[in-house]
Structure 1
Amino acid sequence: MIGQALMNDDDLAEKKAKKFYELLEKNWRNSVSISAHQTIQENKWNKEDDIPLTKNVIALRDHLRLVEDKAREELTPQMSLRAYKALNETVLAQVIIFNKRREGEASRLTLEIYKKASTSAINEDIYETLSPLEKELSKILTRIEIRGKRGKKVPVFLTERMKESIDLLVKRREEAGVPAENPYLFARPGVMTNIRGCDCLRKYAEESKAENPELLRSTKLRKQVATLCQLLDLSEQELEQVARFMGHDIRVHRDFYRQTDKTFQIAKISKLLFAMEQGTESFRGKNLNTLHPSVCGESPTSASGLQRQTKKGRAKRSREADEGKI
């Protein structure tokens, strides 16, 4: 409005627009922004857990590998467009699931970047400090750096199984009708675009017969990583490495991706609350894993005490009902 008023040489309209803009700058935060933010936060309270269970992720992975093996068996001796499509989709879905990458990041992986990938770029000084398992993993995994959100560099790991399937896709690429100018690794035959990871996850999640297939999406999988990291005793440096691999800083990892686990709170924090009722002597030299509130008499932490209290409560309510009090 200010720009239009300047072009029209309308001083009155310009003055009104500037006054409105000044009022907006002063009052928006208190009148609108705070209330809207509070409403958004309150809507998230008491919501059901919306991250996938590990058993369902495993079920999806096993189904993808089954379809992948059948497609490779069919595609290896001769060209089959149906098998090429199935192999293309299942490998992309596995890359997303294994790396917990955003589906768009993995989908846009280019053929040029893949061909430059190598398993030999390892710092020798760091390699010598690794455990035998870590040394073996550093040899068999291929690390590729791709463009992530906001232009950040994010890594993608490929297993030997994934590489074998991708190499077969590259070998059959021309026969499948993928244009030579198509830059994408997971390319669509006959066009210049790539297949979409979200479509692949949605399709095979339904086929896998896993519980709650709608939760088997890239964003939910990323939240699962952040949440399950709470089960590990990670140092600050290790947690930062996880956050960097996921493609965001540690604050985003803690505040937005990591979900509050009600099971963790009930099982762990409740021990602290019961122990506080029994005095601070039980705290000395303990943590939440080693803290065991003492159980005696009718203590609420006693299983038998809880059962007796429950039975007494039911008997009392029954008597009151008979007497017409409730």
Structure 2
Amino acid sequence: MRRIARLLLETQQINASIKSAKDLVDPAHFDDVILGVNICSGFDTSNQNFEAPTLAKKLGQSLTTLAEIVIAESIKSSDTLQECKAEQFLKLKNLQWKQRIATKVYKQQCKQKWQKPKKVPLTADTVKLNQLLTNQVCTTKEKLQGNEVSTSTWRELASLTLAQLIMFNRRRPGETQYLRMSDYLEQTKKKREFQDEIFESLPIAQKLAAKRLTLIMTRGKRDRGVPILLTPDMADSVKVLNKTRQIAGSIHKTHTYLLAHQETLFSRFEVMIVCTNTRICVGPKILTD
């Protein structure tokens, strides 16, 4: 409620009759509240821009929350007058807030998004990181396949494999992180069949990729299917992890996720930051964006 406190101080400068936060949700003070929001967020009337558009947006959300709190407290205390004022304020906000604040904020944020320069990872950095991950995966995999099976080694290979999957697929990290063991095993058992007409229409590179890569469908946002592709090396790493997960004692039998440790999941952001936090990359932060 710090934003509301800040807004209250500004509106008190405009209208001295506003004494407390509940006075902000009085429809009679709606115009003063709008002016206070503009002052708090640094609205410039000459170019119709806010210095802090996000603050203006969040103040609208805070005012709605405040009005709902006032309504709840008014119902408890049987204060029908205050309840009616807060309800009327919400109606007025629904009618005028979009035109007077929200639309301006949206247009400005869209413009800022368009004008913001997009930084693309350097090809050299991507190649170096990929080579580093490949070398580390090979070393760790040899340890697991040998006599050096341990929880730390298993976790290291799992985190490296997760980083490779995220980099290769360029998907939302969560979609890769929440890949389930049952989905992986079920889909890898099935032999993929290609329709002859479609397969023959593909370029040679895509034909080779279709035969070489392993496709796993996982759940994404709004229950949409998200394809995750695995190279032969990644598939081999997953195979090694599955074979040694119980021996290494790093994960419980009932754990449903493919890449996890003990009772929790790897933090995909920490994994990527650790992997890119090396001196071989010129712009490591861009790789994790």
Q: Shorter chain as normaliser: what TM range?
A: 0.5 to 0.7
State the aligned residue count: 216
Q: Which residue of 2 aligns with 1:200?
A: 271
Q: Which residue of 2 aligns with 1:186?
A: 259
Structure 1 distance, partners of 2:268, 2:162, is: 6
- C-alpha displacement of 1:85: 2.0
Structure 2 distance, partners of 1:113, 1:47, is: 39
Instruction: Assess, with a 3 A threshold, how the Cα gap between structure 1 residues 82 and 18 changes in structure 2: closer, same or farther.
Output: closer
Q: Which residue of 2 aligns with 1:214?
A: 285
- Equivalent positions of 1:233-272 (< 5 A) are none
Q: Which residue of 2 aligns with 1:34?
A: 103
AA matched with 2:97: W
Deviations along 1:44-100, one digit per CA (max 9) or x if unpaired, are 476443331222112111110011111112211121333222211111101011111
Is this contact kept in 2: 1:140–1:160, CA < 8 A? yes
Residue 65 of structure 1 pairs with residue 134 of structure 2 = yes
Name the SS of the counterpart of 2:247 in structure 1: coil
83, 88, 108: which is aligned to 1:14? 83
- C-alpha displacement of 1:131: 3.8
Q: Which residue of 1 aligns with 2:239?
A: 167
Residue 54 of structure 1 pairs with residue 127 of structure 2 = no
Question: TM-score scaled to structure 1, two decimals?
Answer: 0.61
Instruction: Assess, with a 3 A threshold, how the Cα gap between structure 1 residues 131 and 52 changes in structure 2: closer, same or farther.
Output: closer
157, 172, 177: which is aligned to 1:107? 177
- C-alpha displacement of 1:41: 4.0
Structure 2 distance, partners of 1:172, 1:161, is: 17
Q: Which residue of 2 aligns with 1:305?
A: none
Q: Which residue of 1 aligns with 2:161?
A: 91
User: Which one is further off, 6-15 or 142-151?
Assistant: 6-15
- C-alpha displacement of 1:129: 3.1
- C-alpha displacement of 1:37: 2.5
Name the SS of the counterpart of 1:122 in structure 2: coil
Is this contact kept in 2: 1:95–1:106, CA < 8 A? yes
AA matched with 2:281: A
Structure 2 distance, partners of 1:165, 1:110, is: 16
Which sections of structure 1, spanning at least 5 residues, go unmatched? 221-326
Instruction: Assess, with a 3 A threshold, how the Cα gap between structure 1 residues 114 and 82 changes in structure 2: closer, same or farther.
Output: same
AA matched with 2:274: K
Structure 2 distance, partners of 1:144, 1:161, is: 15
User: Which one is further off, 125-134 or 153-162?
Assistant: 125-134
Is this contact kept in 2: 1:184–1:193, CA < 8 A? no
Name the SS of the counterpart of 2:227 in structure 1: strand
Instruction: Assess, with a 3 A threshold, how the Cα gap between structure 1 residues 47 and 130 changes in structure 2: closer, same or farther.
Output: closer
Is this contact kept in 2: 1:140–1:159, CA < 8 A? yes
Question: TM-score scaled to structure 2, two decimals?
Answer: 0.68
AA matched with 1:68: V
Is this contact kept in 2: 1:181–1:192, CA < 8 A? no
- C-alpha displacement of 1:122: 2.5
Structure 2 distance, partners of 1:195, 1:154, is: 20
CA RMSD in angstroms, aligned pairs only: 2.2
Structure 1 distance, partners of 2:145, 2:194, is: 36
Instruction: Assess, with a 3 A threshold, how the Cα gap between structure 1 residues 13 and 196 changes in structure 2: closer, same or farther.
Output: same
Is this contact kept in 2: 1:120–1:139, CA < 8 A? no
Structure 2 distance, partners of 1:37, 1:209, is: 40
Name the SS of the counterpart of 1:155 in structure 2: strand
- C-alpha displacement of 1:24: 0.6
AA matched with 2:258: L
Instruction: Assess, with a 3 A threshold, how the Cα gap between structure 1 residues 36 and 132 changes in structure 2: closer, same or farther.
Output: closer
Q: Which residue of 2 aligns with 1:235?
A: none
Is this contact kept in 2: 1:63–1:208, CA < 8 A? no
Structure 1 distance, partners of 2:78, 2:111, is: 47
Instruction: Assess, with a 3 A threshold, how the Cα gap between structure 1 residues 89 and 40 changes in structure 2: closer, same or farther.
Output: same
AA matched with 1:156: I
Q: Which residue of 1 aligns with 2:145?
A: 76
Q: Which structure: greater helix fraction?
A: 2
Residue 130 of structure 1 pairs with residue 202 of structure 2 = yes
Which sections of structure 2, spanning at least 5 residues, go unmatched? 1-67
Sequence identity (%): 29
Structure 2 distance, partners of 1:48, 1:137, is: 33
- C-alpha displacement of 1:193: 1.3
